[in-house]
Amino acid sequence: MVVSKEGLGTMQLFVAIDMHMVFVYVFPLVLVAAYVALKLSGNNRRKRKNAEEQDYFASRYGSSVERMLEEYRGDRLELLSIRDSGRTGVLKAVMKLRTTDPVPLAIASEFVKRL
């Protein structure tokens, strides 16, 4: 934006410079701050979810996959059929297990493989 000093009054010149400063310096800083805040809140949410899943697994099954294999109350035949259905069957079975029993991903994967 080209600003001519002769065409603008002193106040209009300061407003034009201030708006330029806002768009060049302030606006990108606000965007970066918002991005960092969203990333940090996402990490906290993910950490909290992982901790909740680990606590559930520890309290329900005593942190033991063998005990989970013995005490699981869900439909094993359904998980087996999903697991054996095709190339992505293991992943689908793990996701199905995690919707019914909120355990960590590694534990769910190990459980489905051992079925």
- The 10s digit of each residue's pLDDT in 36-90 is 888 877 777 888 888 899 998 999 989 889 999 989 888 889 999 999 998 999 9
113 CB-near residues (< 8 Å, 6+ apart): 90
Q: Does residue 4 belong to any structural domain of this protein?
A: no
pLDDT of residue 112: 93
Is it the case that residue 91 has pLDDT exceeding 70?
yes
* Helix boundaries (H) for 22-87: 27-61, 65-71, 76-83
- pTM for this one? 0.62
Q: Does residue 88 belong to any structural domain of this protein?
A: yes
Our CA dihedral for 39, 109, 70, 55, rounded to 10 degrees, sits at -10
Q: Does residue 5 belong to any structural domain of this protein?
A: no
How many structural domains compose the chain? 1
Calculate the average pLDDT of the chain. 82
Question: Residues 7-20: what's their mean pLDDT?
Answer: 59
- The distance of Cα 17 from the centroid of its chain, to the nearest Å, equals 41
